[in-house]
Structure 1
Amino acid sequence: MTVSPDDPRSAYAQVADDLRRQIAAGRLTAGQRLDGNAKLAERYGVAAMTVRHALDILRDEGLIVSQQGRGTFVASDPPSIETEAAPTLASELAEIKAALALINSRLDRLEEHVADLP
């Protein structure tokens, strides 16, 4: 699955939704190691930062866990996943958090640029 530019959802939300569906359908099982960020980015046709944002959402939802130096895994006891039609509050908050981080990053770059002006 590649991210669709025609989809009104952000790219990271599309990636998170696809991975969430795979977990719900059992294609990704408890304890299974996910591919690395670079491989996921290539698969979805997005930047690695987009994948990190998507994984942050799933981590906040308790669907995945990360282990330093080992990788990211489907949680051994993931919470039940609601239907697509009823997005969870945690998912919405995670999306807001990711968007805020992106805005802060852009603001920092803008401030650096302005500081360098004569």
Structure 2
Amino acid sequence: MTVSQDDPRSAYEQVADDLRRRIASGALKAGQRLDGNAKMAERYGVAPMTIRHALDILRREQLIVSQQGRGTFVASDPVFADSAEEASTMADELGEIKAALELINSRLDRLETQVRERP
């Protein structure tokens, strides 16, 4: 998956959402080591700082843990899967709402311009 410029979410949100979905689906299993930041940056087509930001979010959500000198791993807490799936669903819904709001705002801007241009 590469980050889409057309997606209303920021690049780091897209990366975090993708990793969250992969954890929820079991594609990334508890205890599994994640690829390094440089490799993930290349895969997603973003800067390493974007990956760090996405991982910070997942760390705060306790979906991943980092160990100095060892790497970053999917959390081994058995309860995280349900919350990850719920978080992924909410993130999807929020993304849809955000896209709808952007569309509404663009329509409002266009209508305001048309009203101002009327004689």
- For residues 7 and 52 of structure 1, do their structure 2 counterparts lie closer, same or farther at Cα, with a shift above 3 Å needed? same
Tell me which of the two structures has the higher relative contact order, counting C-alpha pairs closer than 8 angstroms and 6 or more residues apart.
2
SS at match of 1:29: coil
* Structure 1 residue 85 displacement after superposition: 4.1
Number of the residue aligned with 1:25: 25
Do 2:24 and 2:88's aligned partners in 1 also have CA atoms closer than 8 Å? Answer: no
Task: Return the offset for 1:86.
Answer: 2.0
- Other structure's SS at 1:49 match: helix
Stretches of structure 1 that go unaligned for 5 or more consecutive residues are 88-118
Where do residues 83-102 of structure 1 align in structure 2 (5 Å cutoff)?
83-87=87-91
Q: 1:13 is matched with which residue?
A: 13
Matches of 1:84 and 1:39 in 2, distance apart? 23
Partner of 1:42: 42
Distance 1:65 1:85 in 2: 22
What CA distance in whole angstroms lies between the structure 2 residues aligned with 1:20 and 1:59?
Answer: 11
Name the structure where helix makes up a greater proportion of residues.
2
Instruction: Report % sequence identity.
Output: 78
Q: Which residue of 1 aligns with 2:64?
A: 64
Scaled by the length of structure 2, what TM-score is found? Answer: 0.70
Shift of 1:73: 0.1
Q: How many residues align?
A: 87
Q: What is the Cα deviation at residue 4 of structure 1?
A: 0.0
Unaligned runs of 5+ in 2: 92-119
The CA distance in 2 between the partners of 1:32 and 1:75, in whole Å, is 8
SS at structure 1 position matched to 2:31: coil
- TM-score, structure 1 as length reference: 0.71
CA displacement at 1:83 relative to structure 2: 5.0
Shift of 1:84: 3.5
